[in-house]
Amino acid sequence: MSDSNRRLAKPTSSSSSWNFPVFFAVLLPIALAAVVFRLEPFEPAEYPAEELTGRVVRVPATNGNIGRVWESVGKGDLVGPEDLVYDREEGVIYTGCWDGWIKRVTVNDSVVESLVNTGGRPLGLALPNNGELIVADSYKGLLRITKEGAVEVLTDEVDGLKFKLTDGVDVAKDGTIYFTDASYKYSFKEFIYDILEGKPHGRFISYDPSTKQTTLLASNLYFANGVAVSPDQQFVLFCETLLRRCKKYYIEGPKKGSIETFIADLPGFPDNIHYDGEGQYWIGLSSSPTFSWDLAMKYPFIRKALAIITSKSEARTKGIWIFQPSSSSSSSDEWWWEHNPVSAGSRWSPSPETQMWGFPTPQNSCGNNILDSLFGEALNFKVKMVVLEKEVLCNWVP
């Protein structure tokens, strides 16, 4: 072979040796990812095209005076407060927290009291005229808290289908309770999958305390959320978080039983809604839409990829076993602390009457703040406290 032919042959050999590692370094991972994507049973649906217009209702500019007139109430004493209800006669605010506690906050001096622990995650709250608190607990269902502090489950299913994420609630003057089940498929700590799946699992429901009858009023809702009965008792408003709108359900008059849009194209995702007694409804927006989220809503394959990533992260859950002595508890008492960074939710389950570890940074025998050291992890984790009689142990469980 001539020198010129040898020179021409070299690039061919080099090109062949270069392609082989490129296949394993680049093409093979892509092929494996494609296989995993195809085999994943999670199949998101398309959101209604007419709702993905990108329109946003015009709102007034930010009120710069708010920062000068508001004040923080119960700061540092409330763990993830959700809905609020104000008792004018007592001058207190009730709110439900991540750890299952319903707190009572005195407005004038910001004193925080623990009222009762539901053992779940209280979300929506309502205070009818009889003074008994009505609670939409995401795990437990629709609850009533008596004046003595007893917790009673009013209902936890409708038409044979259990609630999975009881959310917003309000009470009409005739005593009828209107509330939402944000998803009959996913629980509170799984709600990210309801969002990613893009299917209408939400329901709007009523409960009649006099007959104890639970009635389905509307279904196929996109994450049904906050509820507010109109002051004239003619209709009830409820929010559909994922579609950035609130709807009106007529309970009286010629339109009774019909539904129409109250407001659409909100500048954020509506959560709770309240009437202020002065002709206005206040809607809490959990977050505002972003370009990346708009893309995800438009293209199901993006949401499927996000679901796969989320599920793989959750599969790598880390946990800690902590053993703590207590003279006031038996050796069989157990509690779990759960934190989910995806939903930003944390709770005691079930919550002990006395948090002997304190909150939120319990110390273990290894001298570390257990929860603080793990809040930075992009993973779910659990802390289990088992009461022993004498010894204290510290052990990491992968």
Amino acid at 286: S
Please classify residue 53 by burial: count the beta carbons closer than 10 Å to its beta carbon, then call 0-12 exposed, 13-18 middle and 19+ buried. exposed
Q: Is residue 87's pLDDT more than 80?
A: yes
* Residues 115 and 193 grouped into a single domain: yes
- In DSSP notation, 14-76 reads HHHHHHHHHIIIIIHHHHHHHHHHHH------PPPGGG-S------PPP-TTHHHH---SSTT
* Residues 301 and 320 grouped into a single domain: no
Out of 279, 305, 331, pick the residue that ends a domain: 305
In a domain, residue 51? The reply is no
* Residues 218 and 320 grouped into a single domain: no
In a domain, residue 117? The reply is yes
pLDDT of residue 147: 84
Q: Which domain holds residue 385?
A: 316-397
In a domain, residue 277? The reply is yes
In a domain, residue 12? The reply is no
The pTM for the full model equals 0.73
Question: What does the pLDDT average to over 19-38?
Answer: 58
Neighbouring C-beta atoms of residue 11, cutoff 10 Å: 9
Q: How far apart are CA 393 and CA 398, in angstroms?
A: 16
Three-point CA angle 64, 65, 66, nearest 5°: 95
* Residues 192 and 271 grouped into a single domain: yes
In a domain, residue 297? The reply is yes
Out of 283, 305, 327, pick the residue that ends a domain: 305
* Residues 112 and 208 grouped into a single domain: yes
In a domain, residue 103? The reply is yes
Question: What does the pLDDT average to over 166-177?
Answer: 97
The 10 Å CB-count burial string (b at 16+, else e) for 343-379 is: eebbbbeebbeebbbeebebebeeeeebbeebeeeeb
Cβ(167)–Cβ(121) below 8 Å: no
What dihedral do alpha carbons 383, 386, 388, 394 form, nearest 10°? -20
* Span of 241-245, 258-262, 306-310, 356-360 with lowest mean pLDDT: 356-360
* Residues 246 and 366 grouped into a single domain: no
Q: Which residue has the higher pLDDT, 35 or 81?
A: 81
* Residues 75 and 218 grouped into a single domain: yes
Q: Supply the mean pLDDT for the chain.
A: 76
> Helix count (H) and strand count (E) of the chain?
7, 25
pLDDT interval class at 333 (50, 70, 90): very low
pLDDT interval class at 254 (50, 70, 90): very high
* Residues 340 and 297 grouped into a single domain: no
Q: Is residue 354's pLDDT more than 80?
A: no
Q: Is residue 37's pLDDT more than 50?
A: yes
In total, how many domains does the chain have? 2
The segment with the largest mean pLDDT, out of 25-29, 115-119, 211-215, 365-369, is 211-215
Question: What does the pLDDT average to over 64-89?
Answer: 82
Instruction: Give the CA distances from residue 363 to residues 318, 357, 373, 393, 397, in Å, rounded to whole numbers and listed in that order.
Output: 18, 7, 11, 12, 17
Q: Which two tokens stand for residue 375?
A: 């809040």
* Residues 350 and 280 grouped into a single domain: no
Q: Is residue 204's pLDDT more than 50?
A: yes
* Residues 282 and 347 grouped into a single domain: no
Where do runs of H (alpha helix) occur along the chain?
3-22, 28-39, 66-69, 191-197, 291-298, 300-315, 370-375
Q: Residue 104 belongs to a domain with what CATH number?
A: 2.120.10.30
In a domain, residue 47? The reply is no
Q: Which residue has the higher pLDDT, 310 or 10?
A: 310
Q: How far apart are CA 220 and CA 216, in angstroms?
A: 11
Question: What does the pLDDT average to over 120-139?
Answer: 94
Q: Which residue has the higher pLDDT, 323 or 225?
A: 225
* Residues 257 and 380 grouped into a single domain: no
* Residues 128 and 277 grouped into a single domain: yes
Tell me if the bond preceding 350 is cis, omega within 30° of 0. yes
Cβ(317)–Cβ(383) below 8 Å: no
In a domain, residue 347? The reply is yes
Out of 261, 285, 305, pick the residue that ends a domain: 305
